[in-house]
């Protein structure tokens, strides 16, 4: 989409990014404070709650830590609101474009049995006010404002490339019927379409607002996706109707029982010989203790209520328990900080 912000919205987004980058300024001082406090990583507790307590005690006088927390708290609580305000300034201008992109070969259907999952009730992932459907155009705001203008500026554009690159790790290149769990605003769905241009692609998400943005992404490119409002752990679609099931950066936003249900439903949906590929953040055990502490603390301020719970899971073990074979779990090799789990349904 071609979106041009007005001066106020553009300035607000630029300030948000500049303020967020202040975290990197305090990082070097925080490392110095950690060294000055005599913290030995090997002596730190394994339990994340105990680890947090130990670090807070040792760094009680660290101005850098307090500054880092302050910046993270402010950007986490304000980034969604700033992005929403910037988008609302131009909504009247882009309404014709939005209407045009809602009309095309990709349409949205709601599963008749769908009810929002209990684990999202009252939960604002990423501190998004009202949740993923808290604004009629939340998908547009999330994709065009938060992801493209904030996340990319803060962390680089690699996340978009990785959504496509992880698919090169699959055992086959000829998947024809693909289902995506947690479509969101369609970034990974587009990666699937690019990797497998001959495939029929379907997917679901609990948020209609997010799927409406995915619909625009598809219709803008004249792609035909089947999108469903519903829970990925309970699609009730016909068994063995797909040869690839995928998700990207979804598992850490779900409680442990939902993660297990995702793999079980993926197994049911796949035909024999089909594959599952789930990409997410690395589990806690893959980090050294100081890195694990940084991520866990960031999750606390960043609106990630299930980060710690999901990070303790062994996705390879879950896949095997569901019946998958040839299971592999590894860090994505192109340099992104992502954990890939691949398994195949036996023939």
Kindly state the average pLDDT of the residues 251-280: 97
pLDDT value of position 99: 94
Distance CA 127, CA 81 (A): 10
Which domains are seen in the chain, by residue range?
110-125+159-344 (3.40.50.150)
Phi, psi of 282 (to 5 degrees): -65, 150
* H-helix or E-strand spanning residue 131: none
Q: Is 20 exposed, middle or buried (0-12, 13-18, 19+ CB in 10 A)?
A: buried
pLDDT of residue 162 exceeding 90: no
For 305-326, b/e burial (b = at least 16 CB within 10 A) is: bbbbebbebebbebbeebebee
Distance, in Å, from the CA atom of 2 to the CA atom of 97, rounded to the nearest integer, reads 9
pLDDT at 157 over 80: no
- Give 145's DSSP letter: I
Q: Is the pLDDT of residue 217 over 90?
A: yes
Average pLDDT of the residues in 15-29: 85
d(CA 206, CA 225): 16
Q: Which positions ≥6 away from 238 have C-beta within 8 Å?
A: none
- What DSSP character marks residue 226? E
* 158 has pLDDT over 90: no
Q: Is the dihedral of CA 105, 111, 115, 119 positive or negative?
A: negative
Residue in 310, 286, 288, 315 with CA at minimum distance from that of residue 299: 310
At residue 250, what are phi and psi to the nearest 5 degrees?
A: -120, -35
pLDDT in tens, 7-18: 999 999 999 999
Q: What SS3 class is residue 187? A: helix
What's the pLDDT score for residue 335? Answer: 67
Q: Output Rg (C-alpha) for the chain, integer angstroms.
A: 21
With cut-offs at 50, 70 and 90, classify the pLDDT of residue 154.
Answer: confident
263, pLDDT greater than 70: yes
* pLDDT at site 337: 84
pLDDT mean across residues, the chain: 94
Buried b (16+ CB within 10 A) or exposed e, 197-231: eebebbbbbbbbbbbbbbbbbbbeeebebebbbbb
- Phi and psi angles of residue 219, each rounded to the nearest 5 degrees, phi first: -65, -30
The percent of residues above 70 in pLDDT, for the chain, comes to 99
Task: Round to the nearest angstrom and report the end-to-end CA distance of the chain.
Answer: 43
Beta-sheet strand order (sheet of 200-205): 107-110, 225-229, 200-205, 177-181, 242-248, 270-280, 339-344, 325-331
Q: Using one digit for the tens of pLDDT, what is the confidence trace for 33-57? A: 999 999 999 999 999 999 999 999 9
Nearest-10 crossing angle of helices 63-88, 7-20: 160
Question: What does the pLDDT look like over 174-205, one tens digit per residue?
Answer: 999 999 999 999 999 999 999 999 999 999 99
User: Which residues partner with 229 through β-bridges?
Assistant: 110, 205
> Which residue in the block uniquely carries the two structure tokens 């925080």?
30
How do residues 59-102 score in pLDDT, each as one tens digit? Answer: 999 999 998 888 888 999 999 999 999 999 999 999 999 999 99
User: Looking only at Cα atoms, what is the longest distance across the chain?
Assistant: 61
Q: What's residue 280's pLDDT? A: 96
CA distances from 124 to 80, 121, 131, 155 (A): 11, 9, 5, 22
**Residue 72 confidence (pLDDT):** 87
Tell me 233's DSSP state. T
Residue 46 corresponds to which tokens in the numbers above?
């394994």
Tell me the pTM. Answer: 0.95
Is pLDDT of 103 > 90?
A: yes
**Per-residue pLDDT, 71:** 87
């Amino acid at each position: 989409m071609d979106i041009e912000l007005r001066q106020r919205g553009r300035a607000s987004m630029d300030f948000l990014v500049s303020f967020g980058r202040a975290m990197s300024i305090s990082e070097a001082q925080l490392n110095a404070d950690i060294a000055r406090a005599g913290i030995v990583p090997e002596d730190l507790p394994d339990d994340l709650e105990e680890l947090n307590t130990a670090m807070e005690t040792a760094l009680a006088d660290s101005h850098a830590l307090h500054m880092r927390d302050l910046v993270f708290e402010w950007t986490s609580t304000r980034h969604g609101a700033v992005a929403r305000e910037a988008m609302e300034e131009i909504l009247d201008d882009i309404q014709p474009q939005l209407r045009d992109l809602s009309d095309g070969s990709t349409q949205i259907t709601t599963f008749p049995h769908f009810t929002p999952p209990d684990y999202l009730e009252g939960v604002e992932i990423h501190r998004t006010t009202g949740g993923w459907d808290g604004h009629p155009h939340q998908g547009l705001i999330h994709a065009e404002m938060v992801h493209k203008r904030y996340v990319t500026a803060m962390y680089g554009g690699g996340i978009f490339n990785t959504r496509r690159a992880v698919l090169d790790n699959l055992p086959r290149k000829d998947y024809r019927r693909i289902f995506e769990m947690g479509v969101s605003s369609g970034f990974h769905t587009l990666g699937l379409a690019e990797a497998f241009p001959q495939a029929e692609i379907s997917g679901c998400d609990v948020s209609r607002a997010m799927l409406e943005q995915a619909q625009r992404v598809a219709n803008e490119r004249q792609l035909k996706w089947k999108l469903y409002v519903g829970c990925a752990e309970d699609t009730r679609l016909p068994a063995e109707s797909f040869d690839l099931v995928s998700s990207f950066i979804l598992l850490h936003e779900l409680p442990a029982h939902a993660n297990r249900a995702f793999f079980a439903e993926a197994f049911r949906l796949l035909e024999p010989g089909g594959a599952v590929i789930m990409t997410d953040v690395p589990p806690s055990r893959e980090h050294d203790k100081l890195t694990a502490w940084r991520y866990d603390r960031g999750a606390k301020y960043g609106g990630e209520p299930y980060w710690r719970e999901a990070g303790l899971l062994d996705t390879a073990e879950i896949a095997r328990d569901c019946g998958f074979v040839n299971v592999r779990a590894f860090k994505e090799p192109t340099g992104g900080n992502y954990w890939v789990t691949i398994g195949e349904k036996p023939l």
